Copies of this chain bind each other. A is one copy, B any other.
Amino acid sequence: MITSLRNPRIAGVRRLRRTRERKVKGRTPVEGPFLLEEAIRAGVIIHEVYAAPDDATTAATCERIGIEQTLVSNEVLASLASSVSPRGPVAVVSVPASAAIRPMDSIVMWDVSDPGNAGTIIRSAAAFGFQVIATAGCVDLWSPKVVRAGVGGHFRTPLVDTTELSPQVLMGAGLRAFVAAAGSSTSPTEMVETVGPVAIIVGNEAHGVPEAVREGSGAVPISLTMPGGTESLNVGVAASILMYLRTGE
């Protein structure tokens, strides 16, 4: 059992909290029994599993999938986890390669920077059957905080990480592009009724979607009516409402 916080393997897992380290290694930590099961179910490569000695569930899981778990003290486990009170294992898994854009309903995160918001959008996209497309300016989709807020969505829906994105690229992939723009006068009806796949673009928490994407790009601006009079919704909420409307329920 590893009891030292300075153990080199433990230090290596902790370094995976940094975006750069994750990009170089192509691996990310995944916390808790639920996310480990989701990763296994999705066929993601599991490299290492760190668990507390009294964690019978994780021991059984590791035996089932044929991987040797590494026992660690509770203190070491806590040092690996991003949550305050980790209950389950911390696994190191391969970050799945970014998918290519498919012709299916998509939510596009344009420079979304808050890990909680990005995770919430991925969670909702999986629930509503949407593909997720993220610009290079977004928070790393595989950061532990984003994966935690995604509650398994990362393993249930295609994630596309793209360095070059424009409404033209989306349309070239067969998607009709719409932009969530607070205060635009167009209701979501046209988006909801579009035949064929749509791409709904939502923007950065502070700056929204860049003007070049909103204007003159062929993407249709849409907004939600708010009787309360404020034009302020959390970006994860706005994206989720638009996806829900598209499902036509």
In the complex the two chains form, what is the Cα distance from A152 to B124 in whole Å?
25
Chain B hits for A151, CB < 8 A: 232, 234
The residue in chain B whose Cβ has the minimal distance to the Cβ of A205 is B151
Stoichiometry, copies per complex: 2
Chain B hits for A216, CB < 8 A: none
CB within 8 Å for A230 and B156 given contacts A224-B244, A247-B225:
yes
Most-contacted residue by chain B among A128, A151, A226, A230 (CB, 10 A): A230
Report whether A230 and B126 are in contact in the complex, using a CB–CB cutoff of 8 Å. Answer: yes
Chain A, range 168-197, C-beta contacts under 8 Å to B: 187
Chain B hits for A130, CB < 8 A: 228
For the complex with contacts A127-B230, A149-B234, 17 further pairs of A-B residues with Cβ separation under 8 Å are A116-B116, A120-B237, A123-B232, A127-B228, A127-B232, A128-B227, A128-B228, A129-B227, A129-B228, A151-B232, A151-B234, A153-B232, A156-B228, A224-B249, A225-B247, A234-B236, A240-B240
